[in-house]
Amino acid sequence: MRAWQVHRPGPIGTGPLRMVDVPVPSPAPDELLVRLSACGVCRTDLHVAEGDLPVHKPDVVPGHEAVGSVAAIGNDVDGFLIGERVGIAWLRHTDGVCVYCRRGLENLCPQSRYTGWDADGGYAEYATVPADFAYRLPDGYDDAEVAPMLCAGIIGYRALRRANLPSGGRLGVYGFGASAHLATQVALAQGATVHVLTRSAGAQELALELGATSVGGATDEPPERLDSAILFAPVGTLVPVALAALDRGGTLAIAGIHLTDVPPLHYERHLFYERNLRSVTANTRDDGREFLAFAQTHPLRVRTTAYPLDAADRALADLAADRVNGAAVLTM
């Protein structure tokens, strides 16, 4: 099968990925083999390719928003059928016994492993997934539309929960890529007022199309104080900007797995009056199931730009240069 590997991590312009022909993997007893039809291109893939997140597996195949049909089933797996459509997401393994897993916080499990980082992912024609971590997918979306939901959607959903947005509250969204454009729709469906702050004119236009009340530049002040904010852009200098825009008791959630350095914060300007700063670390499977159930009952508009599998390196380059409006998706 054809697959892309992160061969020599570095700036995307140096060609860190290579396409290879490798054998189709065989599923372990607890796994499914999935013949892939689409895989979303996530900024985390870019961080892995460029070395911001050091690879855990040499020559790893990136990609963790993969959709396809079950091609083979491990001997210990029940409940799946050959040909069934499933999704492969970022979280791939937790130990199930640590204190975090027992508390329902499996996203914090010290033994957690991840698709496209610890194990080969979706920039390929086939991939395996532990059956307990495979997702059944909502109807009404084609494979390219549902693929970004498996990370961009799920992480945006968790970030929105971490932001403690009150009913009918005022939400600021900093950066407006794949995850933000889905989280914004969830917030709007829940009755929020949404202000989008991003440098991309195309992203600002999309935000208004989706129902945002206002748009502005990434460092602009929103037109009103915010109850909550989510930082999707991996830019640490925006942390004090977003904190300063919060009303008393407001919460800023940082959604990314990687962030550039945060400058010094001024206590009274950025944190006083019980303003909160929270990070987001991966997700639990319950987050994924809840978000996909929401997408089933609340139709979402998923803006995608399609690339053939052969152009995965170009898709990442376009993502790095902010040339993707919405979500980039590889199609097989």
DSSP per position, 196-263: EE-S-HHHHHHHHHHT-SEEE-TTSPPSS-EEEEEE-S--TTHHHHHHHHEEEEEEEEE--S--PPPP
pLDDT of residue 241: 98
Contact in structure between 324 and 305 (CB atoms under 8 Å): yes
Give one DSSP letter per residue of 81-147, joined into a string.
-TT-EEEE-SEEE--S-SHHHHTT-GGG-TT-EEBTTTB--SSBSEEEEEGGGEEE--TT--HHHHG
Smallest Cα–Cα separation from 66: which of 141, 124, 5? Answer: 124
pLDDT of residue 66: 98
Q: Which residue matches tokens 């599923």?
A: 27
pLDDT of residue 183: 98
Residue ranges of the chain with per-residue pLDDT less than 70: none
pLDDT of residue 139: 96
pLDDT of residue 217: 98
pLDDT of residue 159: 98
C-alpha span between 81 and 191 (Å, rounded): 39
pLDDT of residue 132: 98
| Domains with residue ranges and CATH for the chain | 2-152+282-331 (3.90.180.10), 154-279 (3.40.50.720)
pLDDT of residue 319: 95
pLDDT of residue 307: 98
pLDDT of residue 308: 98
Number of H-type helices and E-type strands within the chain: 9, 17
pLDDT of residue 246: 98
pLDDT tens column, 172-204: 999 999 999 999 999 999 999 999 999 999 999
What is the distance in angstroms between the CA of the first residue and the CA of the last residue of the chain? 11
